[in-house]
Structure 1
Amino acid sequence: MENELKRFDVAQLAHVEMFTPNPDGTLWFFKEILGMTEVDREGQSVYLRSYEDFYHHSLKITERNEPGLGHVSWRASSKNALERRVKDLEKSGAGKGWIDGDLGHGAAYQFVTPDNHNMEILWDVDYYQAPESECTLLKNRPQKRPTRGVPVRRIDHVNLLSSNVTANKKFMMSDLGFNLREHVVKNDGSEIGTWLSVSPLVHELAFMGDQGTPEPGLGRLHHIAFWYGFPQHLHDLSEILTENEIQIEAGPLKHGVSQAMCMYVFEPGGNRIELFGDSGYLIFDPDWKPVKWEEGELEKAIIYYGAPLPDSYFKRGTPFVKSPAAANK
């Protein structure tokens, strides 16, 4: 019974905090290009949300001297579920302790993955209340569709770089109840990448082997993904990004893993953002068997169709890691 409860104790991805050394440029990108709404500001942080995100915010942008991940926040399915997950996190030694809360949510328990990615789990949240000018006739949507840029609809997932993909996967499954949905396995049995979720989404969290550094524990971010909707939206974004000289790293392309049609770009602060959507599938089968891609199938797992991914996709993450030669100068 305990293991069954664990599978449902984490409900969803609540929000992600991202660091940027260029807050003005980063905010311009998310607000004017991706059409996100600014909700609040406090200190060096700005709180944003997409127009179909129901909570106070889904993205917290904080000014720092280099880009990277602040933290990933998960919402528990109840107060009791939160207490159960905290007990397991404390037993595992991954727990850092409680914070009183932040704008948009109440008390949260902070913890780290084996690779030192900062995370938190919480229950009490504030729901977005649109001002009268943004109220929509759709009672099942929190606000009108914005008219700036090509607005993304919701936060979708986060992808983290890891020195040991399997160790991080096992931690999220054993301590938080995540389900393994797909993985790429090398001939020696080690995992190149894992895609996990707690909901019917094919993934809310992915771990990729960090080819950019052999050092463990750096807590590096690969990308944050936002759901854009349908292929025409992606093509519209491609044109707007090109006109505004935003670097498109890869795409549009279609992944084998997740089946999503997507594109990867670098926002002005240096973090990689994925625009994700179209045909990514949902999982309703309670007895789902993880999809296993063999090493020889890696090419189709990553690119079902589209141009090959550049080398930077596998090696670049934030914060940046200097090469040994550069570090010795």
Structure 2
Amino acid sequence: MGADEPVMDVAHLGHVELLTPKPEESLRFFTEVMGMTESGRQGDSVFLRGWDDYERYSLQLTASNTSGLGHAAFRTRSAAALERRLAALRADGVEVVAHEDNLGHGTGWHFRDPDGHVFELYWDTEWYDPPADRRPSLKNQAERYPARGVNVRRIDHFNCLAVDVRANREFFQRNLGLRCTERIELDSGEEAGMWLTSNNKSYDFAFTKEAHGVPGRFHHVTFALDSREAVLQAADTFLEAGVHIETGPHKHAVQQTFFLYVYEPGGNRVEVAHAGARLILAPDWKTITWTETERRKGQAWGLKTIESFHTHGTPPLPDPLPDFGEES
């Protein structure tokens, strides 16, 4: 493989594990309001899926004493691709730990990014086999349309907060071969945001600057809807369910996502969005870099970004904040 040949060993985002201190309330939110389907239970976790996720689940909801990201998992393109990525991580001095007895997929290999978030790679997986009452009329669809709540179709992406965004971007590019489609660079030269993809989607996940110097925090998980109109209908669904809408519907300038944000009962931010229309088909895509001045303009259109979007993350900030010393 040539030096300039893209590494395509990682196929896509498989699932995200959210921690919640209110497991029963969070479960009702994701099933009754978001319209997801329960597909299994194991230990303190309930496993949920969107109606067109091909794997058994895309969300693992785990009871915990706090909120935040448990782990985020990516499926590789083959067993050999998995071995190549594990070898790359080990060669970079990263500890990878095997996790067995996983519901819905084979051995998962866990590792931490430079900010401390837990990631997982796996290959063997269980394709969802719907029971008779969930079987769709069309055989090229994973599950019957739920006609319940928001009716999320599939998992789309997630966003982590990081103390050093650039270090994390370079880590994932170096070890997983991910491509950076867009990024934000401040006037100081510090990187304040980056969006990475493993395929032709514009992004599978993003990292943005954690403003308080606290590592390992989480910003949001996003589920895809079919259209902008579906996002507007989701706003009505949240209204009727008494779910507070943090911000949206608006359109992001970065990645052009049409979005709406809410909080699930456990405190984690959840986004529903129409993002799938924009694909990165160019194999030699050139990263778009946004300047500090350009980002000050806010969203592409819609209301000004609400302050909590820049301050709220999970788990909650410690009180008092740790003393990291004075910047040099």
Shorter-chain TM-score bucket reads over 0.9
Distance 1:109 1:326, change over 3 A: closer
- How many pairs align? 323
- The match for 1:285 among 277, 282, 286 is 282
Q: Which amino acid aligns with 1:113?
A: D
Q: How does 1:119-198 map to 2 (within 5 A)?
A: 119-198=119-198
Distance 1:116 1:242 in 2: 36
Judged with a 3 Å threshold, the aligned counterparts in structure 2 of structure 1 residues 151 and 70 are, in CA distance, closer, same or farther, namely same
Query: Does structure 1 conserve the Cα–Cα contact (< 8 Å) formed by 2:88 and 2:175?
Result: yes
2:316 is aligned, of 309, 314, 320, to: 320
Question: Which of 219, 228, 231 pairs up with 2:228?
Answer: 231
Q: Does 1:267 align with 2:264?
A: yes
- 2: distance between equivalents of 1:83 and 1:96? 12
* Runs of at least 5 residues in structure 1 that lack an aligned partner in the other structure: none
In structure 2, what is the Cα distance between the partners aligned to 1:288 and 1:142? 31
Partner of 2:99: 99
The residue matched to 1:313 in structure 2 has which SS? helix
Aligned equivalent of 1:90: 90
Asked if the contact 2:166/2:191 (under 8 Å) is kept, the reply is yes
Query: If each structure's helix is expressed as a fraction of its own residues, which one has the higher value?
Result: 1
Residues 55 and 242 of structure 1, relative CA distance in 2, 3 Å threshold? same
Which whole-Å CA distance do the structure 2 matches of 1:6 and 1:304 have between them?
31
Give the aligned residue type for 2:316.
Answer: F
1:65 paired with 2:91, answer no
Q: 1:245: how far off? A: 1.9
> 2:224 touches 2:276 (CA, 8 Å); kept in 1?
no
Counterpart residue type for residue 205 of structure 2: L
Q: In 1, Cα distance between the equivalents of 2:3 and 2:83?
A: 15
**Structure 1 residue identity aligned to 2:163:** S
1:129 & 1:314 partners in 2: Cα distance? 40
String of CA shifts for 1:244-269, please: whole Å, max 9, x gaps: 22121111110011111101110011
Aligned partner letter, 2:306? P
Q: Which runs of 5+ in 2 are unaligned?
A: 324-328
Distance in structure 2 (CA, Å) of the matches to 1:228 and 1:161 = 24
**CA–CA separation in structure 2 for the residues paired with 1:128 and 1:204:** 21
- TM-score when normalising by structure 2: 0.95
Range moving further from structure 2, 62-71 or 305-314: 305-314
Deviates more, 1:154-163 or 1:127-136: 127-136
Residues 128 and 5 (structure 1 numbering): CA distance in 2 closer, same or farther, change over 3 Å? farther
Q: 1:25: how far off? A: 1.0
SS in 2 for 1:195: strand
Q: Does the 8 A contact of 2:33 with 2:241 survive in 1?
A: no
Q: CA–CA distance in 2 between the matches of 1:158 and 1:278?
A: 12
Q: Tell me if 1:245 matches 2:234.
A: no
Q: In the superposition, relative to structure 1, how do residues 268 and 112 fare at CA in structure 2: closer, same or farther (>3 Å)?
A: same
- Tell me the amino acid that sits aligned with residue 114 of structure 1: P
Query: C-alpha deviations, 1:171-204, integer Å up to 9, x for none?
Result: 0000000000001111122211000101111110
| Distance (whole Å) between structure 2 residues aligned to residue 33 and residue 67 of structure 1 | 19
Shift of 1:99: 1.4
Match of 1:309 in 2: 305
- Report if aligned partners of 1:259, 1:280 keep a CA contact under 8 Å in 2: no
Structure 1 partner of 2:326: none
> Aligned in 2, Cα 1:89/1:101: closer, same or farther, shift over 3 Å?
farther
- 8 Å contact from structure 2 (residues 46, 61) kept in 1: yes
Q: Deviations over 1:121-154 (max 9, x none)?
A: 0000000001111111222111111021120100
Change over 3 Å in CA distance of 1:101–1:121 after alignment to 2: farther
Deviation at 1:11, TM superposition (A): 0.5
Paired with 2:117 and 2:185, the residues of 1 have a C-alpha distance of 23
The amino acid across from 1:319 in the alignment is P
State percent identity of aligned pairs. 38
Q: Give the superposed CA RMSD.
A: 1.7
How far is the alpha carbon of 1:279 from its aligned partner? 6.6
Asked if structure 2 preserves the Cα contact closer than 8 Å seen for 1:231 and 1:278, the reply is no
C-alpha deviation, 1:101, in angstroms: 4.0
List structure 1 runs of 4+ shifted beyond 2 angstroms: 2-6, 93-96, 322-327
TM-score (norm 1): 0.94
1:32 aligns with: 32
